[in-house]
């Protein structure tokens, strides 16, 4: 596989990139911190990725970096085949309510600019006859919930965008894969109380890779979250107002 990964320097993105590297896949990394890019590329080469692991600076808060970064990836890989987006920002509802400026960044990065980045990818993949676009959304977007009002709103929009891509462009060769993680033990969730079915990044990576290979439009990780969110979506509003989930 020839894969561009945006967000490979931490959490679930790092676990997925390492899994790809161990298979000997060809990788190109996008990240906004040059030192993290260099460190991660070296780590992946040691783990078995086809050399060299290409890199380019790309910042979700700076849309002007999107096209140049994808241009570099296309040159290095000889065209785009699979693009995986795990990057994003997170803040608790309390943090976002206290800090409107940070809230604006989270909303911008996790919805508007992620969509703009994906639109750049979509056009390039379709120009080559198709390919796979895998984007990490979140179960936070499945229902309006007290603990994730703002973050969940951004992810809800992103999930609907990915669903729309699948409906409109699947026949043209675009395989849109929307990943919906629940609670996964990463740096993003440090300090938060994990539920009994919290996931590990390595398990998430294996399930996501299978979904990418099969072109599965929607994947919940860990799988239990599909049924958890099915139950949550069925609750009436008066019940949602009373619970803290």
pLDDT of the chain, 245 residues: tens digit per residue = 999 999 999 989 999 999 999 999 999 999 999 999 999 999 999 999 999 999 999 999 999 999 999 999 999 999 999 999 999 999 999 999 999 999 999 999 999 999 999 999 999 999 999 999 999 999 999 999 999 999 999 999 999 999 999 999 999 999 999 999 987 866 566 556 666 666 788 889 999 999 999 999 999 999 999 999 999 999 999 999 999 88
Q: Which fold would CATH assign to domain 2-242?
A: Rossmann fold (3.40.50)
pLDDT of residue 201: 83
pLDDT of residue 185: 67
Q: Nearest 5 degrees, angle CA 113-CA 119-CA 122?
A: 145
Locate the domains of the chain by residue range: 2-242
Residues taking part in catalysis: 151
Q: Nearest 5 degrees, angle CA 66-CA 72-CA 75?
A: 140
Q: Is the dihedral of CA 58, 34, 19, 87 positive or negative?
A: negative
pLDDT of residue 183: 76
SS3 193: coil
Give the integer Cα–Cα distance in Å for 31 and 215.
Answer: 25
155-177 b/e with 16+ CB inside 10 Å = b? bbbbbebbeebbeebeeeebbbb
Is the pTM of the predicted complex or chain greater than 0.85? yes
pLDDT of residue 213: 97
pLDDT of residue 188: 60
Give the integer Cα–Cα distance in Å for 162 and 216.
Answer: 12
């Amino acid at each position: 596989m020839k894969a561009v990964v945006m967000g490979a320097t931490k959490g679930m993105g790092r676990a997925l990139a390492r899994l790809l590297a161990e298979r000997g896949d060809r990788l190109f990394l996008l990240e906004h911190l040059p030192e993290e890019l260099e460190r991660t590329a070296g780590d992946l080469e040691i783990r078995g990725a086809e050399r060299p692991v290409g890199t380019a600076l790309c910042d979700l808060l700076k849309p002007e970096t999107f096209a140049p970064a994808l241009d570099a990836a296309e040159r290095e890989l000889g065209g785009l085949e699979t693009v995986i987006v795990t990057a994003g920002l997170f803040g608790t509802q309390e943090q976002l309510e206290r800090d409107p400026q940070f809230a604006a960044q989270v909303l911008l990065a996790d919805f508007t600019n992620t969509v703009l980045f994906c639109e750049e990818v979509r056009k390039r993949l379709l120009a080559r006859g198709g390919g796979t676009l895998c984007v990490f959304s979140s179960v936070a977007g499945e229902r309006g919930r007290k603990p994730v009002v703002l973050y969940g709103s951004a992810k809800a929009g992103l999930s609907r965008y990915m669903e729309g891509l699948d409906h409109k462009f699947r026949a043209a060769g675009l395989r849109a894969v929307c990943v919906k993680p629940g609670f996964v033990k990463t740096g993003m969730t440090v300090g938060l109380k994990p539920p009994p079915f919290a996931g590990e990044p390595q398990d998430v990576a294996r399930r996501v890779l299978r979904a990418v290979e099969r072109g599965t439009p929607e994947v919940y990780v860990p799988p239990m979250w599909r049924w958890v969110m099915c139950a949550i979506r069925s609750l009436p509003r008066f019940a949602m107002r009373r619970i803290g989930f």
